[in-house]
Amino acid sequence: MGDGIAEHDPGEWLAGVAAAGARALASAEGARIAVVGVAALGPAPVLVDDELRPLTPALLFALDRRAEPQRLDMVERGSSEGPDATLDSALPKLAWWLEHDPETAAGARWALDATGFVVGSLTGVAVMDSITAADYALPGVEAPVPLPDPLDATAVAGGLEPGWAERLGLPAGVPVTAGTYDSFADLAAAGVRRPGDSGLVLGSTTIVCRAVDHGFEPPAGLGVSDYPGDGVVAGGWTLSGGLVLDWFAERFAAHDDVARAAAEREPGGLLALPYVSGERTPLWDPFARGAVIGLSLESGPAEVHRALVDSLALTALDHAERLEPALGRCGTWGATGGGTRHPLWAQATADALGARLEIAPDAGEAVGPALLGLRAIGAEPERRPAAVLEPDPRRAERYRELLPAFRELATAVAPIMRTLKGSDPHPGGRVRPSPGGEERVS
Protein backbone atom coordinates (compact mmCIF):
# COMPACT_ATOMS: atom_id res chain seq x y z
CA MET A 1 0.00 0.00 0.00
CA GLY A 2 1.06 3.58 -0.51
CA ASP A 3 2.40 5.88 2.16
CA GLY A 4 -0.37 6.85 4.53
CA ILE A 5 -2.62 3.90 3.61
CA ALA A 6 -2.62 0.81 5.84
CA GLU A 7 -5.74 -1.34 5.87
CA HIS A 8 -6.55 -5.00 6.32
CA ASP A 9 -9.33 -7.38 5.33
CA PRO A 10 -11.01 -8.46 8.60
CA GLY A 11 -11.98 -11.76 6.99
CA GLU A 12 -8.31 -12.71 6.97
CA TRP A 13 -8.25 -12.33 10.74
CA LEU A 14 -10.94 -14.98 11.05
CA ALA A 15 -9.00 -17.33 8.79
CA GLY A 16 -6.02 -16.69 11.08
CA VAL A 17 -8.11 -17.52 14.14
CA ALA A 18 -9.11 -20.87 12.62
CA ALA A 19 -5.51 -21.70 11.71
CA ALA A 20 -4.11 -20.58 15.06
CA GLY A 21 -6.82 -22.48 16.91
CA ALA A 22 -6.02 -25.66 15.02
CA ARG A 23 -2.31 -25.34 15.85
CA ALA A 24 -3.03 -24.58 19.51
CA LEU A 25 -5.33 -27.57 19.89
CA ALA A 26 -2.83 -29.85 18.18
CA SER A 27 -0.11 -28.77 20.62
CA ALA A 28 -2.47 -29.05 23.61
CA GLU A 29 -2.48 -32.85 23.23
CA GLY A 30 -6.01 -33.39 24.46
CA ALA A 31 -5.96 -30.89 27.33
CA ARG A 32 -9.36 -29.53 28.35
CA ILE A 33 -9.90 -26.01 27.00
CA ALA A 34 -11.54 -23.96 29.75
CA VAL A 35 -11.54 -20.50 28.15
CA VAL A 36 -10.69 -18.71 24.90
CA GLY A 37 -8.62 -15.52 25.17
CA VAL A 38 -8.33 -13.01 22.35
CA ALA A 39 -6.00 -10.09 21.69
CA ALA A 40 -5.28 -8.26 18.47
CA LEU A 41 -3.61 -5.21 17.03
CA GLY A 42 -5.31 -1.85 17.23
CA PRO A 43 -6.84 0.61 17.12
CA ALA A 44 -8.14 -0.80 13.85
CA PRO A 45 -11.78 0.26 13.39
CA VAL A 46 -14.04 -1.76 11.10
CA LEU A 47 -17.73 -1.14 10.36
CA VAL A 48 -20.05 -4.16 10.58
CA ASP A 49 -23.70 -4.97 9.87
CA ASP A 50 -26.37 -6.51 12.12
CA GLU A 51 -24.79 -9.95 11.70
CA LEU A 52 -21.37 -8.51 12.63
CA ARG A 53 -20.12 -9.03 9.08
CA PRO A 54 -17.51 -6.50 7.91
CA LEU A 55 -18.65 -3.70 5.63
CA THR A 56 -15.23 -2.07 5.34
CA PRO A 57 -11.57 -2.95 5.66
CA ALA A 58 -9.98 -2.12 9.00
CA LEU A 59 -7.86 1.04 9.07
CA LEU A 60 -4.70 0.25 11.00
CA PHE A 61 -3.94 2.59 13.91
CA ALA A 62 -1.36 5.34 13.30
CA LEU A 63 -0.07 3.64 10.14
CA ASP A 64 -3.18 4.63 8.18
CA ARG A 65 -3.13 8.41 7.99
CA ARG A 66 -5.96 9.14 5.56
CA ALA A 67 -7.99 10.63 8.41
CA GLU A 68 -5.31 13.18 9.31
CA PRO A 69 -7.45 16.16 8.15
CA GLN A 70 -10.36 14.93 10.30
CA ARG A 71 -8.01 14.42 13.25
CA LEU A 72 -6.60 17.92 12.95
CA ASP A 73 -10.12 19.35 12.77
CA MET A 74 -10.94 17.53 16.02
CA VAL A 75 -7.77 18.91 17.61
CA GLU A 76 -8.74 22.45 16.57
CA ARG A 77 -12.26 21.99 17.93
CA GLY A 78 -11.04 20.31 21.13
CA SER A 79 -11.31 21.68 24.61
CA SER A 80 -9.29 21.64 27.80
CA GLU A 81 -11.63 19.02 29.25
CA GLY A 82 -9.61 16.08 28.00
CA PRO A 83 -6.91 14.82 25.62
CA ASP A 84 -6.64 15.75 21.98
CA ALA A 85 -7.14 13.29 19.15
CA THR A 86 -3.82 11.47 18.78
CA LEU A 87 -2.57 9.58 15.73
CA ASP A 88 -4.20 6.46 17.20
CA SER A 89 -7.62 7.98 17.87
CA ALA A 90 -10.32 5.97 16.13
CA LEU A 91 -12.95 8.72 15.90
CA PRO A 92 -11.18 10.58 13.06
CA LYS A 93 -11.18 7.33 11.08
CA LEU A 94 -14.91 6.90 11.65
CA ALA A 95 -15.40 10.49 10.52
CA TRP A 96 -13.34 9.70 7.42
CA TRP A 97 -15.67 6.80 6.58
CA LEU A 98 -18.70 9.04 7.07
CA GLU A 99 -17.23 11.63 4.70
CA HIS A 100 -15.93 9.25 2.00
CA ASP A 101 -18.58 6.52 2.07
CA PRO A 102 -21.62 7.99 3.86
CA GLU A 103 -23.99 5.26 2.66
CA THR A 104 -21.88 2.48 4.20
CA ALA A 105 -21.26 4.45 7.39
CA ALA A 106 -24.95 5.27 7.78
CA GLY A 107 -25.90 1.61 7.28
CA ALA A 108 -23.38 0.21 9.75
CA ARG A 109 -24.79 -1.33 12.92
CA TRP A 110 -21.57 -1.10 14.91
CA ALA A 111 -18.02 0.13 14.78
CA LEU A 112 -15.76 -2.54 16.25
CA ASP A 113 -12.04 -2.84 16.70
CA ALA A 114 -9.97 -5.87 15.70
CA THR A 115 -10.28 -7.69 19.03
CA GLY A 116 -13.99 -6.95 19.31
CA PHE A 117 -14.55 -8.04 15.73
CA VAL A 118 -12.93 -11.42 16.40
CA VAL A 119 -14.71 -11.87 19.74
CA GLY A 120 -17.98 -10.85 18.09
CA SER A 121 -17.53 -13.49 15.40
CA LEU A 122 -16.77 -16.16 18.02
CA THR A 123 -19.70 -15.27 20.30
CA GLY A 124 -22.27 -13.43 18.18
CA VAL A 125 -22.06 -10.49 20.61
CA ALA A 126 -20.85 -7.01 19.65
CA VAL A 127 -17.89 -6.36 21.97
CA MET A 128 -15.44 -3.59 22.79
CA ASP A 129 -13.20 -3.69 25.84
CA SER A 130 -12.77 -0.64 28.06
CA ILE A 131 -9.11 -0.08 27.10
CA THR A 132 -9.95 0.02 23.41
CA ALA A 133 -13.02 2.16 24.07
CA ALA A 134 -10.76 4.97 25.31
CA ASP A 135 -9.49 5.36 21.74
CA TYR A 136 -13.08 5.86 20.58
CA ALA A 137 -13.82 8.73 22.96
CA LEU A 138 -13.01 12.43 22.85
CA PRO A 139 -14.56 15.31 24.82
CA GLY A 140 -17.35 16.89 22.83
CA VAL A 141 -17.13 14.41 19.94
CA GLU A 142 -19.91 11.89 19.37
CA ALA A 143 -19.10 8.68 17.53
CA PRO A 144 -20.82 8.74 14.11
CA VAL A 145 -21.40 4.96 14.28
CA PRO A 146 -22.78 3.10 17.33
CA LEU A 147 -20.26 1.53 19.71
CA PRO A 148 -20.85 -1.42 22.08
CA ASP A 149 -20.90 -0.76 25.81
CA PRO A 150 -17.33 -1.35 27.05
CA LEU A 151 -16.39 -4.48 28.98
CA ASP A 152 -13.41 -5.19 31.20
CA ALA A 153 -10.66 -6.97 29.24
CA THR A 154 -10.94 -10.03 31.50
CA ALA A 155 -14.75 -10.18 31.44
CA VAL A 156 -16.44 -13.10 29.70
CA ALA A 157 -18.07 -11.66 26.58
CA GLY A 158 -20.11 -14.77 25.75
CA GLY A 159 -19.94 -18.43 24.88
CA LEU A 160 -18.39 -19.92 21.76
CA GLU A 161 -20.96 -20.09 18.95
CA PRO A 162 -21.81 -23.58 17.62
CA GLY A 163 -20.41 -22.85 14.16
CA TRP A 164 -17.07 -21.77 15.55
CA ALA A 165 -17.12 -24.61 18.08
CA GLU A 166 -17.40 -27.10 15.24
CA ARG A 167 -14.75 -25.29 13.21
CA LEU A 168 -12.29 -25.26 16.10
CA GLY A 169 -13.17 -28.65 17.52
CA LEU A 170 -14.29 -27.25 20.88
CA PRO A 171 -17.53 -27.59 22.85
CA ALA A 172 -20.09 -24.89 22.14
CA GLY A 173 -20.43 -22.39 24.97
CA VAL A 174 -16.78 -22.33 26.06
CA PRO A 175 -16.34 -18.84 27.61
CA VAL A 176 -14.64 -16.23 25.43
CA THR A 177 -13.12 -13.18 27.11
CA ALA A 178 -13.59 -9.62 25.87
CA GLY A 179 -9.83 -9.34 25.36
CA THR A 180 -7.98 -6.17 24.40
CA TYR A 181 -5.06 -4.86 22.36
CA ASP A 182 -2.17 -7.29 21.95
CA SER A 183 0.22 -4.80 23.58
CA PHE A 184 -1.72 -4.92 26.86
CA ALA A 185 -1.87 -8.70 26.74
CA ASP A 186 1.89 -8.67 26.18
CA LEU A 187 2.38 -6.37 29.19
CA ALA A 188 0.43 -8.89 31.24
CA ALA A 189 2.76 -11.61 29.95
CA ALA A 190 5.72 -9.45 30.98
CA GLY A 191 4.38 -9.45 34.55
CA VAL A 192 2.96 -5.91 34.78
CA ARG A 193 0.12 -6.17 37.30
CA ARG A 194 0.40 -3.43 39.94
CA PRO A 195 2.08 -0.07 40.65
CA GLY A 196 5.83 -0.51 40.77
CA ASP A 197 5.94 -3.04 37.92
CA SER A 198 7.72 -2.06 34.71
CA GLY A 199 7.36 -3.71 31.33
CA LEU A 200 8.94 -3.70 27.88
CA VAL A 201 7.55 -5.23 24.71
CA LEU A 202 10.17 -5.59 21.98
CA GLY A 203 8.02 -6.46 19.00
CA SER A 204 7.36 -4.96 15.60
CA THR A 205 7.01 -1.82 17.69
CA THR A 206 8.37 -1.02 21.14
CA ILE A 207 6.35 -0.47 24.31
CA VAL A 208 7.83 1.04 27.46
CA CYS A 209 5.47 1.25 30.45
CA ARG A 210 5.52 1.53 34.22
CA ALA A 211 2.47 0.80 36.36
CA VAL A 212 1.50 3.71 38.61
CA ASP A 213 -1.37 4.82 40.80
CA HIS A 214 -4.42 6.57 39.38
CA GLY A 215 -3.97 10.32 39.00
CA PHE A 216 -0.41 10.16 37.66
CA GLU A 217 0.33 13.03 35.27
CA PRO A 218 2.41 11.76 32.34
CA PRO A 219 5.41 13.76 31.09
CA ALA A 220 5.24 15.52 27.73
CA GLY A 221 5.05 13.13 24.81
CA LEU A 222 3.94 10.12 26.86
CA GLY A 223 0.56 9.01 28.15
CA VAL A 224 -1.34 6.96 30.69
CA SER A 225 -3.82 4.19 30.07
CA ASP A 226 -5.98 1.69 31.83
CA TYR A 227 -4.64 -1.85 31.55
CA PRO A 228 -5.51 -5.30 32.93
CA GLY A 229 -4.09 -4.61 36.38
CA ASP A 230 -4.15 -2.25 39.35
CA GLY A 231 -3.73 1.48 38.79
CA VAL A 232 -2.76 2.63 35.30
CA VAL A 233 0.31 2.33 33.08
CA ALA A 234 2.40 5.35 32.12
CA GLY A 235 4.77 5.39 29.18
CA GLY A 236 4.61 5.06 25.46
CA TRP A 237 3.68 2.97 22.44
CA THR A 238 6.04 3.59 19.54
CA LEU A 239 6.09 2.68 15.85
CA SER A 240 9.80 1.86 16.15
CA GLY A 241 10.88 -1.71 16.73
CA GLY A 242 11.62 -4.92 14.88
CA LEU A 243 9.83 -3.48 11.87
CA VAL A 244 12.91 -1.28 11.34
CA LEU A 245 15.36 -4.20 11.48
CA ASP A 246 13.14 -6.30 9.19
CA TRP A 247 13.05 -3.43 6.69
CA PHE A 248 16.83 -3.13 6.70
CA ALA A 249 17.36 -6.88 6.33
CA GLU A 250 14.85 -7.21 3.48
CA ARG A 251 16.11 -4.21 1.52
CA PHE A 252 19.83 -4.11 2.19
CA ALA A 253 21.50 -6.86 4.21
CA ALA A 254 19.64 -10.10 4.87
CA HIS A 255 22.60 -12.30 5.91
CA ASP A 256 23.71 -13.32 9.38
CA ASP A 257 27.27 -12.07 8.88
CA VAL A 258 26.02 -8.47 9.06
CA ALA A 259 24.30 -9.03 12.41
CA ARG A 260 27.38 -10.75 13.82
CA ALA A 261 29.63 -7.95 12.62
CA ALA A 262 27.24 -5.34 14.01
CA ALA A 263 27.48 -6.96 17.45
CA GLU A 264 31.24 -6.33 17.37
CA ARG A 265 30.73 -2.57 16.91
CA GLU A 266 30.31 -0.20 19.81
CA PRO A 267 27.33 2.18 20.20
CA GLY A 268 27.71 5.63 18.73
CA GLY A 269 29.76 5.08 15.59
CA LEU A 270 26.76 6.34 13.61
CA LEU A 271 23.54 7.91 14.87
CA ALA A 272 20.21 6.85 13.39
CA LEU A 273 16.53 7.71 13.71
CA PRO A 274 14.22 4.67 13.41
CA TYR A 275 11.07 6.47 12.25
CA VAL A 276 10.44 4.62 8.96
CA SER A 277 6.65 4.68 9.57
CA GLY A 278 6.28 8.00 11.37
CA GLU A 279 6.20 7.94 15.14
CA ARG A 280 3.77 7.82 18.01
CA THR A 281 5.27 8.55 21.42
CA PRO A 282 7.04 10.75 22.21
CA LEU A 283 6.97 12.69 18.91
CA TRP A 284 3.39 12.11 17.73
CA ASP A 285 4.51 13.02 14.23
CA PRO A 286 3.14 11.22 11.15
CA PHE A 287 5.80 12.94 9.03
CA ALA A 288 8.77 11.62 11.02
CA ARG A 289 11.14 9.51 8.93
CA GLY A 290 14.33 7.55 9.41
CA ALA A 291 17.82 9.00 9.08
CA VAL A 292 21.44 7.96 9.52
CA ILE A 293 24.21 10.49 10.10
CA GLY A 294 27.96 10.15 10.42
CA LEU A 295 28.46 8.01 7.29
CA SER A 296 32.01 7.80 5.96
CA LEU A 297 33.93 5.72 3.40
CA GLU A 298 34.48 3.15 6.15
CA SER A 299 30.75 2.74 6.86
CA GLY A 300 29.11 -0.47 5.72
CA PRO A 301 26.04 -2.62 6.40
CA ALA A 302 27.30 -3.69 9.83
CA GLU A 303 27.73 -0.09 10.97
CA VAL A 304 24.26 0.89 9.74
CA HIS A 305 22.70 -2.20 11.34
CA ARG A 306 24.39 -1.32 14.64
CA ALA A 307 23.13 2.27 14.38
CA LEU A 308 19.55 1.10 13.80
CA VAL A 309 19.72 -1.24 16.80
CA ASP A 310 21.11 1.63 18.86
CA SER A 311 18.25 3.85 17.70
CA LEU A 312 15.75 1.33 19.09
CA ALA A 313 17.66 1.15 22.37
CA LEU A 314 17.71 4.95 22.52
CA THR A 315 13.96 5.03 21.86
CA ALA A 316 13.45 2.85 24.94
CA LEU A 317 15.80 5.05 26.97
CA ASP A 318 14.07 8.20 25.72
CA HIS A 319 10.79 6.93 27.18
CA ALA A 320 12.29 5.61 30.40
CA GLU A 321 14.25 8.81 31.06
CA ARG A 322 11.13 10.95 30.68
CA LEU A 323 9.49 8.95 33.48
CA GLU A 324 12.47 9.14 35.84
CA PRO A 325 11.90 12.62 37.36
CA ALA A 326 8.58 11.45 38.79
CA LEU A 327 9.27 7.75 39.34
CA GLY A 328 13.03 7.44 39.68
CA ARG A 329 15.20 5.02 37.74
CA CYS A 330 13.92 1.51 37.26
CA GLY A 331 16.40 -1.26 38.07
CA THR A 332 14.45 -4.18 36.59
CA TRP A 333 12.11 -4.42 33.61
CA GLY A 334 9.96 -7.39 32.68
CA ALA A 335 10.46 -7.95 28.96
CA THR A 336 8.71 -9.93 26.27
CA GLY A 337 8.27 -9.87 22.52
CA GLY A 338 10.17 -11.40 19.63
CA GLY A 339 12.93 -8.82 20.06
CA THR A 340 14.04 -10.57 23.24
CA ARG A 341 15.27 -13.35 20.91
CA HIS A 342 17.39 -10.82 18.98
CA PRO A 343 20.60 -10.93 21.06
CA LEU A 344 22.01 -7.55 19.99
CA TRP A 345 18.73 -5.64 20.31
CA ALA A 346 17.85 -7.16 23.69
CA GLN A 347 21.32 -6.54 25.13
CA ALA A 348 21.45 -3.00 23.71
CA THR A 349 18.12 -2.28 25.39
CA ALA A 350 19.40 -3.53 28.75
CA ASP A 351 22.57 -1.48 28.28
CA ALA A 352 20.68 1.69 27.30
CA LEU A 353 18.31 1.43 30.25
CA GLY A 354 21.16 0.54 32.58
CA ALA A 355 18.80 -2.04 34.04
CA ARG A 356 18.24 -5.76 34.31
CA LEU A 357 15.82 -7.32 31.81
CA GLU A 358 13.85 -10.30 33.10
CA ILE A 359 12.76 -12.16 29.98
CA ALA A 360 9.30 -13.65 30.30
CA PRO A 361 8.66 -17.33 29.62
CA ASP A 362 7.57 -17.95 26.03
CA ALA A 363 8.60 -14.39 25.11
CA GLY A 364 7.49 -13.62 21.59
CA GLU A 365 4.72 -16.21 21.70
CA ALA A 366 1.03 -15.35 21.96
CA VAL A 367 0.64 -16.30 25.63
CA GLY A 368 -0.77 -12.95 26.79
CA PRO A 369 -4.36 -13.60 25.67
CA ALA A 370 -4.28 -17.03 27.35
CA LEU A 371 -3.07 -15.47 30.60
CA LEU A 372 -5.89 -12.90 30.53
CA GLY A 373 -8.35 -15.68 29.77
CA LEU A 374 -7.11 -17.70 32.72
CA ARG A 375 -7.43 -14.64 34.92
CA ALA A 376 -11.05 -14.33 33.81
CA ILE A 377 -11.81 -17.77 35.26
CA GLY A 378 -9.76 -17.23 38.42
CA ALA A 379 -6.55 -19.07 37.46
CA GLU A 380 -3.14 -17.46 38.03
CA PRO A 381 -0.19 -19.63 36.90
CA GLU A 382 3.17 -18.86 38.48
CA ARG A 383 5.65 -17.45 35.97
CA ARG A 384 9.36 -17.03 36.59
CA PRO A 385 11.79 -15.30 34.22
CA ALA A 386 13.15 -17.57 31.51
CA ALA A 387 16.38 -15.55 31.35
CA VAL A 388 17.97 -12.42 32.79
CA LEU A 389 20.08 -9.86 30.90
CA GLU A 390 22.42 -7.62 32.89
CA PRO A 391 23.48 -4.21 31.55
CA ASP A 392 27.03 -3.23 30.67
CA PRO A 393 27.74 -0.09 32.79
CA ARG A 394 30.18 1.35 30.25
CA ARG A 395 27.69 1.08 27.39
CA ALA A 396 24.90 2.37 29.65
CA GLU A 397 26.93 5.54 30.15
CA ARG A 398 27.54 5.82 26.41
CA TYR A 399 23.82 5.59 25.60
CA ARG A 400 23.08 8.31 28.17
CA GLU A 401 25.67 10.48 26.42
CA LEU A 402 24.01 9.83 23.04
CA LEU A 403 20.44 10.52 24.16
CA PRO A 404 20.57 14.36 23.89
CA ALA A 405 22.00 14.09 20.36
CA PHE A 406 19.32 11.54 19.43
CA ARG A 407 16.58 13.92 20.57
CA GLU A 408 18.25 16.92 18.96
CA LEU A 409 18.54 15.10 15.63
CA ALA A 410 14.84 14.25 15.64
CA THR A 411 13.97 17.89 16.29
CA ALA A 412 16.42 19.25 13.73
CA VAL A 413 15.31 17.08 10.80
CA ALA A 414 11.55 17.32 11.45
CA PRO A 415 11.02 20.36 9.16
CA ILE A 416 13.12 18.72 6.44
CA MET A 417 11.05 15.52 6.50
CA ARG A 418 7.93 17.48 5.61
CA THR A 419 9.54 18.67 2.39
CA LEU A 420 10.69 15.27 1.14
CA LYS A 421 8.82 13.64 -1.72
CA GLY A 422 6.47 10.95 -0.42
CA SER A 423 6.41 12.19 3.16
CA ASP A 424 2.99 13.81 2.75
CA PRO A 425 0.30 11.25 3.69
CA HIS A 426 -2.30 13.37 1.86
CA PRO A 427 -0.85 14.43 -1.52
CA GLY A 428 -2.75 17.37 -2.92
CA GLY A 429 -4.70 17.77 0.28
CA ARG A 430 -4.46 19.93 3.35
CA VAL A 431 -1.19 19.43 5.19
CA ARG A 432 -0.38 20.91 8.59
CA PRO A 433 2.18 19.89 11.20
CA SER A 434 0.93 17.41 13.77
CA PRO A 435 0.78 18.76 17.32
CA GLY A 436 3.28 17.85 20.02
CA GLY A 437 1.95 -6.09 17.66
CA GLU A 438 3.17 -6.66 15.23
CA GLU A 439 0.14 -7.41 13.30
CA ARG A 440 -1.42 -10.59 14.55
CA VAL A 441 -4.53 -12.04 16.09
CA SER A 442 -3.71 -14.38 18.92
Residue 103 reports pLDDT greater than 50: yes
Tell whether 431 is covered by a domain.
no
Beta pairing class for 356-359 and 332-336: parallel
Within a domain: residue 428? no
Structural domain that includes position 132: 7-178
Whether residue 214 has pLDDT greater than 60? yes
Judge whether 427 lies within some domain: no
Looking at the predicted structure, is the pLDDT value of residue 432 above 50? no
Decide which of 151, 178, 205 is a domain's last residue: 178
- In terms of domains, do 198 and 302 share one? yes
Q: For residue range 324-364, list pLDDT tens digits in order.
A: 999 999 999 999 999 999 999 999 999 999 999 999 999 98
429: confidence class by pLDDT, cuts 50, 70, 90: very low
Run of H or E including 48: strand 46-48
Number of domains in the chain: 2
Could you tell me if 47 and 174 lie in one domain? yes
The reply to whether 436 falls in a domain is no
- Confidence class for position 436, pLDDT limits 50, 70, 90: very low
DSSP state of 210: E
Region for residue 199 given its phi and psi (left: phi exceeds 0; alpha: psi -120 to 50; beta: otherwise): beta
- Please check whether residue 424 lies inside any domain of the structure: no
Of 161, 178, 195, which residue sits at a domain end? Answer: 178
CATH number reported for the structural domain that contains residue 257 in this entry? 3.30.420.40
3-state class (DSSP) for residue 195: coil
What confidence score (pLDDT) does residue 32 get? 87
Same-domain pairing of 156 and 270: no
Coil, strand or helix: which one is 337?
A: coil
Long-range residue pairs from 22-25, CB within 8 A, at least 24 positions apart, any chain:
22/168, 22/169, 25/168, 25/169, 25/170
Record the pTM: 0.86
Q: Do 190 and 60 belong to one domain?
A: no
364 and 407, same domain (yes or no): yes
**Whether residues 169 and 300 fall in one domain:** no
Residue at a domain's end among 125, 160, 178: 178
- pLDDT at position 41 is 92
Residue 422 lies in a domain: no
Whether the CB-CB separation of 191 and 360 falls below 8 Å is answered with yes
Residue 99 to residue 97: CA distance in whole angstroms = 5
pLDDT at 438 (0 to 100): 38
145 and 190 fall within a common domain: no
Write out pLDDT tens, residues 42-98.
999 999 999 999 999 999 988 888 999 999 999 888 755 556 788 889 999 999 999
Q: What is the pLDDT of residue 440?
A: 32
Say whether both 168 and 226 belong to one domain. no
Report the C-alpha gap between 142 and 154 in whole angstroms: 27
Tell me if 426 is assigned to some domain.
no
Three-state DSSP state, 90: coil
The answer to whether position 318 is within a domain reads yes
Q: pLDDT of 226-274, one tens digit each?
A: 999 999 999 999 999 999 999 999 999 877 899 999 999 999 999 999 9
My answer on whether 89 and 127 are in the same domain is yes
